[in-house]
Amino acid sequence: MGANSLESKVFEGTTTVGLVCKDGVVLATDKRASWGGFIASKNARKSFNINDLVGATVAGSVGDAESLMRLIQAEARLYEMNNGEKMSTNAISILMANILHGNKIFPYLVQLLIGGYTNEEAKLWSLDPIGGLIEEEAAATGSGSPMAYGLMDLEYKKENSVEENIPIALRAISAAISRDSHTGDGIGLATITKDGFKQYSDEEIKTLTEKSLKK
């Protein structure tokens, strides 16, 4: 199959996790984008910084996800310019739900988690492709989510800190990688605290994952 016909197909994302903590939010993803049984990318980006205090993970169509993230990032910047303050987690989640619902005839083929730490409070919202919006404490999306939920249900505690819950998120993604063929090729990790959005490097994630899997 030629490159042009391949690129016209839908590349799909796979497993993402979000955890609310007492001092912030943890977001973790895998890095594989698949097209049927074909691994289209081993370094797909699935976590995004919407503003300094809010981030998102995406599972589903890569093209739809990237387009939607560009749109909400622009809306967040415009809001900040007009109002002199950053959009909150709740405001971004509601706006995103409205955008998705308004396009439900030709929907964005995505599942989203939106997490943030605004007004000294950690929040996590789960959104479906047509704008369904549910507040969660721990959530997973994508084909590997059943495996991730199994581990999270056993080990996650909301009262733990971001530092304490990072290993839970990493083990949840690792569990999905071990059992779901559409999940794989490494882990992406981000946190949002009072200090803002942090995207972890591959070296940091490798070290943290090795520690988490020894427990």
Active site residue 14: yes
Structure tokens at 136: 């969660």
What's the CA gap between 45 and 3, in Å, rounded?
21
Q: Are 53 and 89 in contact (CB under 8 A)?
A: yes
User: Looking at 14, 57, 118, 209, which residue is catalytic?
Assistant: 14
User: CA-to-CA distance for 177 and 16, rounded, in angstroms?
Assistant: 11
The CA-based dihedral angle spanning residues 168, 169, 170, 173, taken in that order and rounded to the nearest 10 degrees: 120
3-state secondary structure 65-133: HHHHHHHHHHHHHHHHHHHCCCCCHHHHHHHHHHHHHHCCCCCCCEEEEEEEEECCEEEEEEECCCCCE
> How many C-beta atoms surround the C-beta of residue 161 within 10 A?
14
Distance, CA of 163 to chain centre: 18
Which residues are known catalytic residues?
Answer: 14
